[in-house]
Amino acid sequence: MRFLALEKLINLHDGYRKTVKIDSLEVLIVQEAGEVFIVQSRCPHQGQHLEQGLVQEGSIHCPWHHFVFDLATGVHQGGLCDALATYAPIFDGNVLGIMIND
């Protein structure tokens, strides 16, 4: 496993949303109420981008068909859809990243 740096901590703030693509990996970083979440950037329903999704009470609402996913677990509310992949945020010095398998 190796550390993959995604963003400088100084850039994070509540309301922060950013899609980051590195090689074949594309993730969405979300900060809300001081908590950082990192999830796959595209909705598991039909693959649409989630960056514009409404974030509320630890969940993200896909703007396309309004499926709701828990940002911490990735689980779809209602269980009708596959879960979002989630990544544990790793804070290393002044950088946010994730651990990935090579």
Binding site for ligand FES (CB under 6 A): 43, 45-46, 48, 62, 64-65, 67
Minimum distance from residue 32 beta carbon to ligand FES (Å): 19
Minimum distance from residue 47 beta carbon to ligand FES (Å): 7
The identity of residue 100, as a single letter, is I
The identity of residue 5, as a single letter, is A
Minimum distance from residue 14 beta carbon to ligand FES (Å): 24
Q: Order of strands across the sheet with 59-61?
A: 54-56, 59-61, 68-70
Would you call 53 exposed, middle or buried from its count of C-beta atoms within 10 A (0-12, 13-18, 19+)?
buried
